Structure 1
Amino acid sequence: MRNENADNEGKKHHRGRRRKKKGNIIANVILVIALIVFCVSGFQLFKIGKGYLDGRSEYDKVRKLAVTDDKNKNDKDKNHSEDGDDTFSVDFQKLLEINPDTIAWIRFPDEPSQINYPVVQGTDNSKYLKKTFSSNENTLGAIFLNVDNQKDFSDKNSVIYGHRMRDGSMFRHLQDYDTREFWKNNPYFYIYTVDGRILKYHIYSAGQVVDTSESYQTTFETDEEYQEFLNMTQSTSLYNTGVEVTTADTIVTLSTCTSASDNHRFVVRGVKEEETKQ
């Protein structure tokens, strides 16, 4: 009887050790999987962070190379323009040497000051989605003009695209215009062209649109058709700016992604108010 009990106890002990061993194996497998997931996730985050850092560093270098912005002049010269545009200039020769696709420079004089970039135009609208101004592969891409537009911004509606990056770069801060208060304090943006013109745009509309061809039409057969388009751009604005736009005017549409859906875009539209020489 004692031997049977001893055998039973031994079997139970053996089964217990097997279950414990099996449990340890499962726990180890889970631990290994968790470590792999952690490492892969960490590597992906590192790649994303490095991509942001590399892209921002590249654009900083481009600004230092080609842009002169003597802000100190504002304190000395009381006769400068309202937005201090006489202190800002772009060396397009240097930009063209880096990228022959260069057509302009865009900047906001105050906020969002992060939007201060060269503008390119590729042979299609996908070329600069993941390629920077200096032609490096990077998710920041470049700020680019619609391939269907004229390089001189003479079309009734010129469309400029830029990514909405999480680090605040490119066109991320266009969405700051979701409030009228922000627009009221920052109603203008400027485009500098290769041929030395400075185009001043008064923002008249800001809001979310569906990503359709109707939202991005660039040319119009008649004034009536253009007027219908202008009416649409004003009706989709989040607020009434009171800025007048007529069929005699040309506009620029700045477009970026939104967090709402893949089918929507956030757009800021400005009407050309003034043109001067650099």
Structure 2
Amino acid sequence: MPDYKSVVVSTADKKKKKKKKKENAALAIVKGLIPWKGDSVGEIIRKIVFLVSIVALCVVVLIIIDKYMFEPERQRKEYQSSILQLGNHEPTAEEIAELPEKAINTEYAPFYAINNDFVGWLSIKGINVNYPVVQGENNTEYLEKDFYGNYSKNGTIFADYENEFKNTGETSANTILYGHNLRTENFFAEITEYRRVNLDESLEFLKEHPVIEFNTLYEKAKYKIFSVMLINTREEYGDVFNYPAILNFANRDEFNYFTSECLDRSEFFTGVDMKYGDKFLTLSTCEFEVGLYDMRIVVVARKVRDGESDSFTDKQIKSFKRNPDTKQCRTIRELYYYGKEWSGRYWNPAWIEGFKKDSSFKTESSD
């Protein structure tokens, strides 16, 4: 008859031995890491140096994580809080007196008093775009400097240094504003929602936020979006639309070139009409989704004219649609259009006053 008792005892002994081995292994690891009774002086020093190195490495890792993951978010919150407080501050007589001659929007006096580079305020209803705009001596000054002049990776929204803001209210024909697209989702991060890889979702976003407001010290104005573009800035990728160089139009031909290029390259059509003499607002930020270096998302809007409604009707918004074939650089067409050549224009030539329809238009245009 089998000796079940001995079998049970044998099994229990094996379990105890395994447990003891685990305990011995854990103890060996601990003894190998920290100073232990019986260690030589040299061994104790080695262990102390090792432990100090581990602690130092952990501290460095935590500092790096904080700097690149949490510090930008803290800066964003602190910045937005300070801007909000400044905006709620009632301008003093002294601040108003410091404004340039003929400035009428005195609510911005506190901002101008702090930074004379202040030129206006940009906002888009319903999204996190509600910031002061500055203008530096060049287009790099405010890339890593906040509104208060302090170093910040977030930078500040700034106007092209060659744009004009006259005290008569006159501006350049095309005012260009630049802003970072950062993980902290401030400044121009939400501008990228106008042009995501999922264009159907971006179209819905455009329908919800089709108007931009940009007020200077001398006037208040709204702009209707008519173009949302993915722009290449590298010649190695092919065609480059040098929109930053177009601030004014010497003649109607230059005007027609700019507006037609914006429509050719736009992902969407909103039906906004344009005529020579109109003013434009261009928002420019970096793009990171398509997988190419130095791409830009560019949103262009036409200034609302005197006597014109500053909003779209429900019918107009419902008519917003995608461009069947967007003009893109060679590399984008190879990656996303199977290498097919651009087929031509699908927008209504009547949207640009006096623009002549030619063979480049491929379909009967809609309103």
Please give the TM-score of this superposition, normalised by the length of structure 2. 0.57
Q: Check if 1:227 corresponds to 2:250.
A: no
Q: Check if 1:266 corresponds to 2:297.
A: yes
- CA drift at 1:173: 0.2
1:102 corresponds, among 115, 118, 121, to 118
| C-alpha distance in structure 2 between counterparts of 1:39 and 1:213, whole Å | 47
Equivalent position of 2:107 in the other structure: 91
- In 2, are the aligned partners of 1:106 and 1:116 still within 8 Å (CA)? yes
* 1:194-230, Cα deviation, whole Å (9 max, x unpaired): 12x2111001111211235722221222211121111
Letter in 2 for 1:171: F
| C-alpha distance in structure 2 between counterparts of 1:31 and 1:234, whole Å | 63
Q: Which has the larger radius of gyration?
A: 2
Deviates more, 1:32-41 or 1:243-252: 32-41
Question: Quick check: which one's strand share is greater?
Answer: 1
Question: Given the superposition, is the C-alpha separation of residues 204 and 115 from structure 1 closer, same or farther in structure 2, using an over 3 Å criterion?
Answer: same
Q: Check if 1:193 corresponds to 2:193.
A: no
* 1:15-56, Cα deviation, whole Å (9 max, x unpaired): xxxxxxxxx89xx99999887665434312211322331233
Equivalent position of 1:180 in the other structure: 203
C-alpha RMSD of matched pairs (Å): 2.8
Please give the TM-score of this superposition, normalised by the length of structure 1. 0.74
Equivalent position of 2:62 in the other structure: 42
* 1:246-275, Cα deviation, whole Å (9 max, x unpaired): 222111110011104332111111100146
Q: Check if 1:127 corresponds to 2:146.
A: no
Deviates more, 1:160-169 or 1:236-245: 236-245
Equivalent position of 1:16 in the other structure: none
| C-alpha distance in structure 2 between counterparts of 1:33 and 1:236, whole Å | 55
Equivalent position of 1:54 in the other structure: 75
* 1:149-185, Cα deviation, whole Å (9 max, x unpaired): 1125621211000000101101000011121111112
Equivalent position of 1:137 in the other structure: 151
Deviates more, 1:31-40 or 1:185-194: 31-40
Please list every run of 5 or more consecutive structure 2 residues that lacks an aligned counterpart in the other structure: 1-31, 34-46, 90-104, 196-201, 234-239, 308-367
Letter in 2 for 1:120: V
Three-state SS of the structure 2 residue aligned to 1:60 is: helix
| C-alpha distance in structure 1 between counterparts of 2:120 and 2:306, whole Å | 14
- In 1, are the aligned partners of 2:139 and 2:161 still within 8 Å (CA)? yes
Question: Given the superposition, is the C-alpha separation of residues 223 and 41 from structure 1 closer, same or farther in structure 2, using an over 3 Å criterion?
Answer: farther
Question: Given the superposition, is the C-alpha separation of residues 236 and 34 from structure 1 closer, same or farther in structure 2, using an over 3 Å criterion?
Answer: farther
- In 1, are the aligned partners of 2:231 and 2:241 still within 8 Å (CA)? no
Q: Check if 1:158 corresponds to 2:175.
A: yes
- In 2, are the aligned partners of 1:200 and 1:275 still within 8 Å (CA)? no
Equivalent position of 2:226 in the other structure: 204
Percent of residue pairs bearing the same amino acid type: 26
| C-alpha distance in structure 2 between counterparts of 1:36 and 1:222, whole Å | 65
Please list every run of 5 or more consecutive structure 1 residues that lacks an aligned counterpart in the other structure: 1-23, 69-88
| C-alpha distance in structure 2 between counterparts of 1:208 and 1:220, whole Å | 23
Three-state SS of the structure 1 residue aligned to 2:242 is: helix
Identify the structure with bigger relative contact order (alpha carbons < 8 Å, sequence gap 6+).
1
- In 2, are the aligned partners of 1:198 and 1:275 still within 8 Å (CA)? no
- In 1, are the aligned partners of 2:229 and 2:297 still within 8 Å (CA)? yes
- CA drift at 1:234: 1.1
- In 1, are the aligned partners of 2:72 and 2:184 still within 8 Å (CA)? no
| C-alpha distance in structure 1 between counterparts of 2:153 and 2:132, whole Å | 16
Equivalent position of 1:257 in the other structure: 286
- In 2, are the aligned partners of 1:123 and 1:147 still within 8 Å (CA)? yes
| C-alpha distance in structure 2 between counterparts of 1:102 and 1:219, whole Å | 22
